[in-house]
Every structure is written in structure tokens, then in C-alpha cells.
Amino acid sequence: MTLSRRAVLIALAFSAAIGGPALAEKKSSGSVSAEELMAGNPLPDIWEGKADAPVTVIEYASMTCSHCAAFHKDVYPQVKKNLIDTGKVRFVLREFPLDPLATAAFMLARALGDDKRDAAVDLLFAQQKSWAFVDKPLDGLAAVMKQTGLGQEKFEATLKDQAMFEKVAKMRDRASDKFGVTSTPTFFINGERYNGEITFADFAALVSAKGGN
């Protein structure tokens, strides 16, 4: 497979520090005002759920974070069925890449368009082991993205998209500088920050406490 120089550089820069905190913190680690959370983001939010849901949940995730992948495999389907689809929660995932490979994955998911971004994220998490933890991660990433209809030409062009690269980087920087995000997954539930993995029972309890009954 022929990869662009930019793609090769991203692959070489791929760090070994992947993942997030192993244990959930059931207590808030701080809070941010809704106005701050919602204003001035470099990339538009892609929401799941009703606009007038009583509880807003924002997840900061990294595509190479195994704990994020576990949440989306084991917990998010229950959140979707019981909290989002019932009108209790409006949910958005925001980019917080922990390494260049995660940045590349987010760029590719965004390149598919707003209507396909979340499906691409789900696919990338579901098949994370086939691209994030292999000897040739970009080859694996290209193979996964091919399932979405993204061809090699678009794949390489996206990895050279400096404007998109900078927007994804700024999403992470703003979350870190303004909201105190340092690891993934980090959740904001009506502005209250919770770090690390979380069970559905704990997630539902936090939502209920915020008015999502």
C-alpha cells in the first residue's frame, strides 16, 4: 500500500501511551458552565437525542483509548436505548486524541460528513484492535475506513488536510485548557465532570440526579 508522506509521519509519531484511567470516578471532579461548554468549539457538535432533553452529556474520547472503546461497546448501547431514545439525554462525542493515530482516525470520521461521523466512530471503536494495536496501524485504519466507502485516494487526501488536522488539535487543546480534561473518557453531565470508565447503572444514576428521570 502506498501511503502519503503525511500518513507515514503520523504513523511514525504514533505513541505508546494509549488509554485512560482504569477506574470510574463516581464523584464529580469539577464543573463547567453550559455557556463555556457549548461556545467556541473548532468543530461542530454532532448530537444524538432530542434538542430539549433535560440532560446534556458530552464525552471527550480518543479513538485509540481502550477504555473509550469498552464504553461504546458495553455501555453506550444501553445509554442509547434507555436514555437517549427516551428523550432523557442529548449526547455528543467530542474529539480528544491522545496520539497522532487517534487524530488521524477522527479526521477520517469527520471526512465522511456529519451524518456518517458517529457510525464511523462506532465502527472504529468496534474494530479498534485491528488498527490501533498492530504493526502497521495506518494499513489497518485504511482497511476499516474502506468499509465505510472511503477509498485510498480520499484516505490519503484526508490525512494531508492541514485545516482539519488543526481543528481536531484545537478541540483537544480547548478541552484541556478550558475544561480541565486530561484523560479519556471524560464525561460532562449537565456541566459536571466525571473521569474514567463508568457502568450503565452509575451513568443512569448520574443522569437521574441531574433531572433525567
Q: Quick check: 182 pLDDT over 60? A: yes
- Overall CATH class of domain 5-209: alpha beta
Listed range (24-38, 65-79, 107-121) with the worst mean pLDDT: 24-38
Q: What is the mean pLDDT of the chain?
A: 89
- Domain boundaries of the chain, sorted by first residue: 5-209
25 band by pLDDT with thresholds 50, 70 and 90: very low
**8-state DSSP, 26:** -
DSSP secondary structure of 193-210: EEES---HHHHHHHHHHT
The whole-number pLDDT of residue 93 equals 98
The whole-number pLDDT of residue 26 equals 55
Q: Quick check: 12 pLDDT over 50? A: no
Measured in Å, how far apart are the chain's first and last C-alpha atoms? 52
Can you tell me the distance from the alpha carbon of 103 to that of 126, in angstroms, rounded to the nearest whole number? 17
Q: Are 63 and 102 in contact (CB under 8 A)?
A: yes
Q: Give me the amino acid identity at 73.
A: K
Task: Calculate what percentage of the chain has a pLDDT beyond 90.
Answer: 83
pLDDT tens digits, 26-73 = 578 889 998 899 988 999 999 999 999 999 999 999 999 999 999 999
Q: Which residues pair with 56 in a beta bridge?
A: 90
Q: Quick check: 22 pLDDT over 80? A: no
Listed range (7-11, 18-22, 94-98) with the worst mean pLDDT: 18-22
Q: Quick check: 1 pLDDT over 90? A: no
Q: Quick check: 4 pLDDT over 80? A: no
Which helix H or strand E contains 91, and what residues bound it?
A: strand 89-95
The whole-number pLDDT of residue 213 equals 75
pLDDT tens digits, 126-169 = 999 999 999 999 999 999 999 999 999 999 999 999 999 999 99
